[in-house]
A and B are shown apart, each in its own frame.
Chain A
Amino acid sequence: MNRTKPSTGYREIHHTADIAIQVWADNLPNLFTEAARGMYAIMGVASEKKPGKGKTITFHAEDDVSLLVAFLNELLFEAEHHRTAFMDILVNISNGRLVATLNEGIVCKINREIKAVTYHHLNVVESQQGVEATIVFDV
Chain B
Amino acid sequence: MVALSDFKKISDYEWEIPTTYRKDMKVPVRIFADRKLLEACLEDQSVTQAVNAATLPGLVGQVLVMPDMHQGYGFPIGGVAATRYPEGVISPGGIGYDINCGVRLLASSIPLEAVQERLDDLAIALDQACPSGVGTKGEHKLNENELDQVCRQGAKWLFKKGMATEEDIRRTEDQGCLDGADPGKVSPRAKQRGKEQLGTLGSGNHFLEVDVIDEVFDEDAAQAMGLTAGCLVVMIHCGSRGLGHQVCTDYVQELQGAVRKYGIPLPDRELVCAPLTSTEGQNYLAAMRCAANYAFANRQVLAHQVRGAFERVMRGRVNDRHLRMVYDIAHNIGKVETHLIEGERVKVCVHRKGATRAFGPGHPGVPEEYRAIGQPVLVGGSMGTASWVLIGTQTSMEKSFGSSCHGAGRVMSRSKSKHTVRGEELRDSLEKRGIRVRAGSMPGLAEEAPDAYKDVDQVVNAVHNAGISRKVARMQPVIVIKG
- Give the B-binding residues of A (Cβ under 8 A): 12, 14-19, 43-44, 62, 65-66, 69-70, 73, 77, 80-81, 83, 110-113, 115-122, 136, 138-139
A83 CB contacts on chain B under 8 angstroms = 135
**Cross-chain pairs A/B with CB under 8 angstroms, 26 sampled:** A14-B416, A16-B44, A16-B46, A16-B410, A17-B77, A17-B413, A43-B134, A62-B257, A70-B253, A77-B189, A81-B135, A81-B192, A81-B193, A81-B242, A112-B134, A112-B444, A113-B135, A113-B203, A113-B204, A115-B98, A116-B97, A118-B93, A119-B74, A120-B73, A122-B269, A138-B97
Interface residues of B in 188-219 (CB under 8 A from A): 189, 192-193, 202-204
The residue from A43, A44, A81, A136 contacting B73, defined by CB atoms under 8 A apart: A136
Chain A residues, Cβ within 8 Å of B73: 18, 118-120, 136, 138
Residue interface mask B128-152, A partner, CB < 8 A = 1: 0000001100000000000000000
Chain B residues, CB < 8 A from A116: 97, 245, 248-249, 252
Interface membership of B414, Cβ < 8 A: yes
Closest approach, in angstroms, between the C-beta of B131 and any C-beta of chain A? Answer: 13
- B residues 80-134 touching A (CB-CB < 8 Å): 93, 96-98, 134
Q: Which chain A residue has the least Cβ–Cβ distance from B49?
A: A120
Kindly list chain B residues whose C-beta atoms are within 8 Å of the C-beta of A65: 269
B72 on interface, CB distance cutoff 8 Å: yes
Contact partners of B249 in chain A: CB under 8 A? 73, 116-117
The 4 closest A-B pairs by CB, nearest first: A120-B73, A119-B269, A120-B270, A118-B73
Contact assessment for B245 and A16 in the assembled complex, using a CB-CB cutoff below 8 Å: no
Q: Is B473 in the interface zone, CB < 8 Å from A?
A: no
Q: Which of B412-429 contact A (CB under 8 A)?
A: 412-416
Contact call B245/A66, Cβ cutoff below 8 A: no
At the interface, yes or no: B375 with Cβ under 8 Å from chain A? no
Instruction: Tell me how far the C-beta of B180 lies from the nearest C-beta in chain A, rounded to whole angstroms.
Output: 24
Asked if B361 CB lies within 8 Å of chain A CBs, one says no
Residue from B134, B203, B410, B483 in contact with A17 in the complex, judged by beta carbons closer than 8 Å = B410
Name the B residues within 8 Å of A138 (CB-CB): 73, 96-98, 245
Interface size on B, residues (CB 8 A): 44
For residue A136, which residues in chain B have a CB less than 8 angstroms away from its CB?
A: 73
Residue pair A115, B97 in contact (C-beta under 8 Å): yes
Contacts of A111 in B (CB 8 A): 134, 441, 443-444
A53 to chain B, nearest CB (A): 20
Q: How far is the CA of A14 from the CA of B257 in the complex (A)?
A: 30
Given contacts A62-B256, A113-B135, A118-B270, are A17 and B71 in contact (CB under 8 A)? yes
Docked Cα-Cα span, A18 to B257, in Å, equals 26
Contact call B253/A69, Cβ cutoff below 8 A: yes
Note all chain B residues with C-beta closer than 8 A to A69.
253
Q: Given A112-B444, A138-B96, A138-B97 in contact, is the A120-B268 Cβ separation under 8 Å?
A: yes
What residues on A are CB-neighbors of B253 within 8 Å?
A: 66, 69-70, 73
Chain A residues with Cβ below 8 Å from B331 are none
B268 engages A121 (CB within 8 Å): yes
Contact indicator A118/B444 (Cβ below 8 Å): no
Chain B residues with Cβ below 8 Å from A81 are 135, 192-193, 242
| B272 close to chain A: CB less than 8 A | yes
A16 with B135, Cβ < 8 A, contacts A77-B189, A115-B245 known: no
A113 proximity list for chain B (CB < 8 A): 134-135, 202-204, 483
Contact with A along B41-52 (1 / 0, CB 8 A): 000101000000
B411 at the interface (CB under 8 A from A): yes
B70 interface residue (CB < 8 Å to A): yes
Write out the residue numbers on chain B whose beta carbons fall within 8 Å of the beta carbon of A119. Answer: 73-74, 93, 252, 256, 268-270, 272
| Distance of A106 from chain B, by nearest CB (Å) | 14
Residue from A12, A77, A139 within 8 A of B204 (CB atoms): A139
How far apart are A137's CB and chain B's nearest CB, in angstroms? 9
Assembly CA distance A80 to B133 (angstroms)? 11
The answer to whether B134 and A15 touch across the interface, beta carbons within 8 angstroms, is no
How far is B328's CA from A69's CA once the two chains are assembled, in angstroms? 33
Judging by beta carbons under 8 Å apart, are A139 and B414 in contact? Answer: yes
- Looking at A14, A18, A136, which has the most chain B CB atoms within 10 Å of its CB? A18
Per-residue contact bits, chain B 163-206, to A (CB 8 Å; 1 contact, 0 not):
00000000000000000000000000100110000000011100
Tell me which residues across on chain A come within 8 A of B44, comparing CB atoms: 16
- Neighbouring A residues of B256 by C-beta, 8 Å: 62, 66, 119
- Chain B residues 37-82 with CB under 8 Å of chain A are 44, 46, 70-74, 77
Nearest Cβ distance between residue A65 and chain B, in whole angstroms? 7
Contacts of A121 in B (CB 8 A): 268, 270
Determine the distance from Cα of A81 to Cα of B241 in the docked complex, in whole angstroms: 12
A117 partner residues in chain B, CB cutoff 8 A: 249
Further 5 A-B residue pairs, CB within 8 A, beyond A16-B411, A112-B444, A119-B256: A12-B415, A44-B443, A83-B135, A111-B444, A113-B483
Which residues from A are CB-within-8-Å of B192?
A: 81
Question: Beyond A77-B189, A122-B269, is A16–B412 a contact (Cβ under 8 Å)?
Answer: yes
Which of A19, A115, A120 is the one whose CB lies under 8 Å from B414?
Answer: A19
Q: How far is the CA of A115 from the CA of B444 in the complex (A)?
A: 15
Binary contact readout B268-292 vs A (1 if CB under 8 angstroms, 0 otherwise)? 1110100000000000000000000
Set of chain B residues within 8 Å of A44, measured between Cβ atoms: 443
